[in-house]
């Protein structure tokens, strides 16, 4: 089994590669070969005993796809993207990487498919950013995509391309729409969604955090561990039962900021909660008002995808995976 991860240096990419190094891809036998691609050279995950090829490539360059596909990977996981804020600031760069880069990858696979019948599993990380206001509180699996950012537009286009290329038989594709990942490890960043993680991660480490919105704000979350589980399942499951609609909204937890804070209080006490400073930010309030609050995710749930069912669980996963198991 040979796995290619495009976007392997990002947070999810590193965790997914690490999971492969430690446990393989369940149900598919051992992973002997990893090809890891990102804009900067990705690191081979600790403990990986197979052959790893780490490449720094610009996916918007049409010559990159043949290089990353040279070893005919059995499974391709495409996570690479210019993130929402940057795709909004730099229109050309967002389209070049998120649309053209995705298309070059898909077309690279198609060329090999036309040459010799190559037909890998291809998992594309999409996003709930394909949805835009107005939306019901719980969006069903048949709701229209109406993105309100260029990033969301590019992800929605990737979903359409993936389904057409799959229908044509060029690869066996599945697009999964990831919830907002919480708790993101690492340093605070300037993403508009950063506070959802920050108000938990920082107090859990004894540091202050800013809350820029009302605590009644409701959003859709899953842990980094759940995201790795989604990718693993998407990479290995039988896609027959998915049918021809190859886009699945992943399950998650719909929770308000107040519910996040109460979970923090239960696990880390009033002292941790006191580190959260409410400081309303009109820009972030305006942006977040257009974000989804929840989903039904019935198809993905029926297909065995699982996320957390409480914020207590999400916080405990962070403590286990990032803080050595205890506060």
Smallest distance, a second copy to C-beta of residue 98, A? 11
C-alpha angle with apex 74: 68 to 80, nearest 5 degrees? 45
Strands 218-222 and 253-256: antiparallel
**Segment near a second copy (CB under 8 A), from 44-52, 116-124, 136-144, 208-216?**
136-144
Rule CB under 8 A: which of 245-264 touch a second copy? Answer: 245
Q: Which is nearer to a second copy, 144 or 258 (CB)?
A: 144
Rule CB under 8 A: which of 219-248 touch a second copy? Answer: 244-245
Q: Which is nearer to a second copy, 32 or 91 (CB)?
A: 91
**Segment near a second copy (CB under 8 A), from 11-19, 143-151, 203-211, 272-280?**
143-151
Does residue 153 bind a second copy (CB under 8 A)? yes
User: Which DSSP symbol is given to 205?
Assistant: T
User: Which DSSP symbol is given to 28?
Assistant: S
- Chain position carrying tokens 């960043």: 189
In angstroms, the CA 203 to CA 181 distance is: 18
Q: Which is nearer to a second copy, 142 or 283 (CB)?
A: 142
**Segment near a second copy (CB under 8 A), from 142-150, 191-199, 228-236, 251-259?**
142-150
Give me the active site residues, please: 151
Does residue 115 bind a second copy (CB under 8 A)? no
Question: Following DSSP, what letter does each residue of 266-290 receive, concatenated?
Answer: HHHHHHHHTTEEE---HHHHHHHTT
Give the x/- contact pattern for a second copy in 60-99, rule: CB under 8 A.
Answer: -------------------------------x--------
In angstroms, the CA 236 to CA 299 distance is: 17
Residue 275: CB partners within 8 Å, gap ≥ 6? 202, 203, 206, 207, 208, 209
Q: Which is nearer to a second copy, 51 or 137 (CB)?
A: 137
By the 8 A CB rule, do 42 and 54 touch?
yes
Write out the H or E segment, with its range, that includes residue 21.
helix 11-23
**Segment near a second copy (CB under 8 A), from 29-37, 158-166, 226-234, 316-324?**
158-166
By the 8 A CB rule, do 19 and 232 touch?
yes
Does residue 128 bind a second copy (CB under 8 A)? no
Write out the H or E segment, with its range, that includes residue 247.
strand 247-249
Residue 78: CB partners within 8 Å, gap ≥ 6? 6, 7, 102, 105, 122, 123, 124, 125
**Segment near a second copy (CB under 8 A), from 137-145, 178-186, 259-267, 268-276?**
137-145
Q: Which is nearer to a second copy, 16 or 295 (CB)?
A: 295
Rule CB under 8 A: which of 294-323 touch a second copy? Answer: none
Rule CB under 8 A: which of 163-222 touch a second copy? Answer: 163-164, 167-168
Q: At what angle do helices 194-204 and 257-273 cross, to 10 degrees?
A: 30
Determine which residue in the list 12, 34, 129, 156 makes contact with a second copy, applying CB under 8 A: 156
Q: Which residues form the interface with a second copy (CB under 8 A)?
A: 91, 132, 141-148, 150, 153, 156-157, 160-161, 163-164, 167-168, 244-245
């Amino acid at each position: 089994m040979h796995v290619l991860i495009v976007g392997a240096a990002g947070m999810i990419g590193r965790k997914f590669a690490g999971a492969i190094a430690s446990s393989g891809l369940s149900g598919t036998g051992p992973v002997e070969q990893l090809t890891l691609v990102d804009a900067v050279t990705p690191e081979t995950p600790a403990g990986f005993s197979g052959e790893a090829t780490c490449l720094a490539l610009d996916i918007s360059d049409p010559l990159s796809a043949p290089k990353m596909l040279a070893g005919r990977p059995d499974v391709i996981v495409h996570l690479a993207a210019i993130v929402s804020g940057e795709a909004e600031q730099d229109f050309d760069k967002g389209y070049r990487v998120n649309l053209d880069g995705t298309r070059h990858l898909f077309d690279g696979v198609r060329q090999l498919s036309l040459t010799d019948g190559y037909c890998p599993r291809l998992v594309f990380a999409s996003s709930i950013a394909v949805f835009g206001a107005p939306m019901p509180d719980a969006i069903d699996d048949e709701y229209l995509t109406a993105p309100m950012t260029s990033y969301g537009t590019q992800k929605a286009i990737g979903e359409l391309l993936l389904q057409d290329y799959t229908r044509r038989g060029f690869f066996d594709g599945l697009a999964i729409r990831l919830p907002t990942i919480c708790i993101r490890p690492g340093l605070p960043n300037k993403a508009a969604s950063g506070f959802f993680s920050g108000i938990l991660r920082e107090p859990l480490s004894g540091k202050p955090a800013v809350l820029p919105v009302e605590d009644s704000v409701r959003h859709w979350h899953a842990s980094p561990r759940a995201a790795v589980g989604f990718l693993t399942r998407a990479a290995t499951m039988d896609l027959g039962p998915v049918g021809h609609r190859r886009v699945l909204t992943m399950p998650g937890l719909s929770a308000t900021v107040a519910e996040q804070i109460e979970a923090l209080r239960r696990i880390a006490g009033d002292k941790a909660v006191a580190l959260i400073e409410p400081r309303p930010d009109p820009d972030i309030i305006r942006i977040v008002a257009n974000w989804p609050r929840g989903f039904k995710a019935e198809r993905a749930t029926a297909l065995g995808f699982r996320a957390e069912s409480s914020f207590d669980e999400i916080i405990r996963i962070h403590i286990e995976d990032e803080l050595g198991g205890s506060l």
